[in-house]
Amino acid sequence: MVYRIPIGGAIETAIDFLVEHLSFITQAMSDIVETGLDYIVDGMLLVPEPLFILAVALLTWKLSGKRGIGVFALLGLSLIWNMGLWEATISTIALVLLATLFAIMLGVPIGILAAINKTLYRIVMPVLDVMQTMPAFVYLIPAIPFFGLGKMAAIFSTVVFSMPPAIRLTCLGIRQVPTELVECAEAFGSGRWQRLVQLELPLARSTIMAGVNQTVMLALSMVVIAAMIGAKGLGGEVWKAIQRLQMGRGFEAGIGIVIVAILLDRVLQRVGKKD
């Protein structure tokens, strides 16, 4: 038999090694994040549903500047409540927002650094290609040994899966600043940091926001998949329905996800375009 290159074996050994030496940190993170998330979800659930729905409807209306979206929020969330998916939806939204927050906090600075440093750029871009083409399910596997089944594992795999657009578009936005403007900053004796803050970030803003928008959407889709490793929420409902072959229940949860996705997308798109 032909020699088989032990790629799988090597990766497994590497991950085992990391798990063995890092799990005390990752487990602690897991505990902290899960407790925090529980508090957030519990807090959100304390608000009476009608009040919450009304507040979100008003907020989306204000943020998007379109009444239609406010009305959509009102009707869509009422439908979710009516289908008995309220708790699952709140849990999903909390998970998505937290994962997105992490992804952006990591992704935007990495994007900035990659735009500034050519070597880093050459390293980061192929890694991003791999991250984006790797099937999403694969990320679930290493998440479990590090964080155990549950929400932190879900957040971890979601962050890994949804971060690439934030990095890529931040980097793109900065590199797209017209050469002449960059030359102008240079010619007037601007320092690197001044150039970044005064020129590049403001001009890259809408591109960065487009990246944030994509990150949120990817996070939502990954949170659903992460139900397989204990993320619960709307994805958990779908996962349950698959296992029990409850077609109706599965579609109901699916409709809930679509409603949340549309709301997030419309609001973020408007925020990105505002100048």
Partner 1 sequence: MSKISIRNLYKIFGPTPDQAMKLLQEGASKDDIMAKTKHGVGVDNATFDVHEGEIVVVMGLSGSGKSTLIRCLNRLIEPTSGSVSIDGENVTVMNPDQLRDVRQSKLGMVFQNFALFPHWTVLKNASYGLGIKGTDPAEQEKRAMEALELVGLKGWENSLPGQLSGGMQQRVGLARALALDPDILLMDEAFSALDPLIRRDMQDELLNLQEKMHKTIVFISHDLDEALKLGDRIVLMKDGKIVQIGTPEEILTEPADDYVERFVEEVDVSKVLTADSIMKKTEAVAHLGADGPRAALRKMRTNNISSLFVLNKGRTLAGIITADDAAEMVKRGEKDLSQIICTDIKTVLPDTPAQDLFGIIHNLGYPLAVVDETNHLKGVIVRGTLIAALADRGGNE
Closest CA to 177 of 200, 197, 193, 194: 200
By the rule CB under 8 A, 183 interacts with partner 1:
yes
Please state the separation of Cα 185 from the chain's center in Å: 34
Judged by DSSP in three states, 191 sits in coil
By the rule CB under 8 A, 178 interacts with partner 1:
yes
By the rule CB under 8 A, 48 interacts with partner 1:
no
Applying CB under 8 A, the span of 69-77, 86-94, 173-181, 233-241 interacting with partner 1 comes to 173-181
The conformation of residue 246, written as its DSSP 8-state character, comes to -
Q: Which is nearer to partner 1, 129 or 186 (CB)?
A: 186
Number of Cβ within a 10 Å radius of residue 98:
21
Please state the separation of Cα 239 from the chain's center in Å: 20
By the rule CB under 8 A, 6 interacts with partner 1:
no
- For residues 76 and 241, the answer to whether their CB atoms sit within 8 Å is no
Which of 35, 176, 194, 269 touches partner 1 by CB under 8 A?
Answer: 194
By the rule CB under 8 A, 199 interacts with partner 1:
yes
By the rule CB under 8 A, 82 interacts with partner 1:
no
By the rule CB under 8 A, 190 interacts with partner 1:
yes
Q: Which is nearer to partner 1, 3 or 188 (CB)?
A: 188
Which of 12, 16, 20, 186 touches partner 1 by CB under 8 A?
Answer: 186
Q: Which is nearer to partner 1, 40 or 182 (CB)?
A: 182
Q: Which is nearer to partner 1, 82 or 194 (CB)?
A: 194
Which of 138, 198, 258, 274 touches partner 1 by CB under 8 A?
Answer: 198
- For residues 167 and 107, the answer to whether their CB atoms sit within 8 Å is yes
Cβ of residue 124: shortest distance to partner 1, in angstroms?
Answer: 22
CA dihedral 40→86→154→229, nearest 10 degrees, is 130
Cβ neighbors of 168 (< 8 A, separation 6 or more) are 111, 128, 211
Residue 65, amino acid: G
Which of 197, 202, 251, 273 touches partner 1 by CB under 8 A?
Answer: 202
Applying CB under 8 A, the span of 51-59, 116-124, 136-144, 199-207 interacting with partner 1 comes to 199-207
Closest CA to 153 of 131, 137, 166, 169: 137
Which of 3, 24, 188, 193 touches partner 1 by CB under 8 A?
Answer: 188
- Provide the H-helix boundaries in 83-150: 86-116, 118-133, 140-147
By CB under 8 A, name the binding residues for partner 1: 178, 180-181, 183-184, 186-191, 194, 198-199, 202-203
